[in-house]
Amino acid sequence: MAKLQSIKQRFGIIGNSPGLNNALATAVRVSSTDLTVLISGESGVGKEVFSKIIHSLSPRKHNPFIAINCGAIPGGTINSELFGHEKGAFTGASSERKGYFETVNGGTIFLDEIAEMPLDTQSFLLRVLESGEFIRVGSSKIQKTDVRIVAASNVDLMKKVQKGKFREDLYYRLSTVPIKVPSLKERPEDILMLFRRFALDFAEKYRTTSIRLDEKASLIIENYSWPGNIRELKNVVEQLSVLTEEKDISAELLVKTLPHLLDRNLPAIQRNGADNFQEREILYKLLFDMKGDLNDLKSLVFEMIKVNDLRVPNTKALLPAATGGFEGHLRPASEPSAPETAVNEYFQGDTGPANSHSIIIRDEPSGFSKSEVVEENLSLRDMEKDMIEKALKKHRNRRKDAAAELGISERTLYRKIKEYEIQG
């Protein structure tokens, strides 16, 4: 543990989460070997720092280290960049050039965004990993190199393999030792530690007082999902350090300056296909039918009130109890809505005091109890099943006609019948 702490101080790593410590411990253990390492993790988690740790603690630490972003090199020139080229090998090759595998011989090459590497370059890289051999572009002479490769990716390489965009043999060759660097949302206990460190750094940089968070602002920072990880957190601290005059950051000031911190960034469910469209049509039809039923119910209630000469309570007096404590989101009681005013004027003319506490039925009609609660099943699944059963019954189990009545395809209807176990 003491060794990990000294490494963290040396390379500026902040945090004590289990995931971070496990990744760091693996990097330390593998550094003394020549094994190929594959570092995975979201963009902005600090994968390059782990590659530098592996090189700095290895026997190659006095030899060159170079970090190459495979996604930033055009596909037509990446082979030349990595393996070099001969004079006249292609248009513009006015002289021979040594590639990185030749110039960094004896050192370490960090290949970031390895998933963006073209397939032909992947085959050349596989040969280097297996035999240490490579050929310059435009040459037929085989050359040898002794480099250690540390690769990194912010996407799932196995999914790339399944789609045919990444060589399977290269994937297994690269992932001899896999290291997973946790994202910031996977190490929430480290967020405030990082925030304070960045705040001190920017205070020193801009020669100002370090910003501080109050309790509520700290909760917002901790509960934000940080899709950009440490890079995004660092940018947020720098913005707050520069843009805010007050150095004690409250929740209100934090949200006012950076309102996106309240975004939850929850994943959206993507559902495609004609069948899903037809399912939505059924739900829309259900909702419209529910709306019609509610309108009929309201008409019935108003008719019963009118016929039975009922007295209703003052709706304005009931309003605070109905809102459940969210008065700030409603209009003042002195400004009732138009429907509310109409109800008050209609039912409180001469029928009794406005502060009545109950509805009084003067002449109770036969067939009704004094109090009756009717509960309705509002499950969309049950309502959908009920509509399908009614449509089948109406059309005497003629599924084609029932599907047309429901506005869905026969295929969807068959699937729904099987799903709900509807007996034909």
In this predicted model, which residue has the larger pLDDT, 337 or 257? 257
The verdict on residue 84 lying in a domain is yes
- The yes-or-no verdict on residue 337 having pLDDT over 90 is no
Q: Are residues 22 and 107 in the same domain?
A: yes
Mean pLDDT of the 173-201 span? 95
Q: Are residues 221 and 137 in the same domain?
A: no
Q: Answer with the one of 262, 281, 307 that is the final residue of a domain.
A: 262
Could you read off the pLDDT of 80-134 as tens digits, one per residue? 999 999 988 888 888 999 999 999 999 999 999 999 999 999 999 999 999 999 9
Q: Answer with the one of 163, 182, 201 that is the final residue of a domain.
A: 182
The verdict on residue 369 lying in a domain is no
- The yes-or-no verdict on residue 424 having pLDDT over 70 is no
In 3D, which of 170, 179, 185 has the Cα closest to residue 70? 170
The pairing of beta strand 133-135 with beta strand 142-144: antiparallel
Q: Are residues 12 and 59 in the same domain?
A: yes
Q: Are residues 77 and 46 in the same domain?
A: yes
Q: What CATH number does residue 128 fall under?
A: 3.40.50.300
Could you read off the pLDDT of 258-317 as tens digits, one per residue? 999 987 655 554 555 555 656 666 776 777 778 777 887 877 777 777 777 766 655 545
Q: Are residues 176 and 251 in the same domain?
A: no
- DSSP letter at 266? P
Q: Are residues 136 and 191 in the same domain?
A: no
Q: What CATH number does residue 190 fall under?
A: 1.10.8.60
Q: Are residues 143 and 199 in the same domain?
A: no
Q: Are residues 19 and 97 in the same domain?
A: yes
Q: Are residues 44 and 158 in the same domain?
A: yes
The verdict on residue 353 lying in a domain is no
pTM (2 decimals)? 0.61
Could you read off the pLDDT of 147-161 as tens digits, one per residue? 999 999 999 999 999
Q: Can you list the positions of beta strands (E) in 242-381?
A: 248-249
> What is the DSSP track for 324-350?
TT-GGGS--TTS--HHHHHHHHHHSSS
Mean pLDDT of the 48-56 span? 96
The verdict on residue 131 lying in a domain is yes
- The yes-or-no verdict on residue 338 having pLDDT over 60 is no
Q: Are residues 238 and 385 in the same domain?
A: no
| Predicted pLDDT of residue 298 | 79
Name the average pLDDT for the chain: 82
Q: What CATH number does residue 406 fall under?
A: 1.10.10
Residue 422: CA count within 13 A, CB half-sphere: 23
Q: Are residues 167 and 189 in the same domain?
A: no
| Predicted pLDDT of residue 313 | 58
Which residues constitute the domain of residue 397? 380-420
Q: Are residues 137 and 52 in the same domain?
A: yes
Q: Please give the tally of structural domains in the chain.
A: 3
Mean pLDDT of the 164-185 span? 95
The verdict on residue 153 lying in a domain is yes
| Predicted pLDDT of residue 356 | 44
Amino acid (one-letter) located at 358: S
The verdict on residue 319 lying in a domain is no
In this predicted model, which residue has the larger pLDDT, 213 or 376? 213
Share of the chain above pLDDT 90, in %: 56
Separation CA 377–CA 366 (nearest Å): 27
The verdict on residue 365 lying in a domain is no
Q: Answer with the one of 182, 215, 230 that is the final residue of a domain.
A: 182
The verdict on residue 300 lying in a domain is no
| Predicted pLDDT of residue 314 | 55
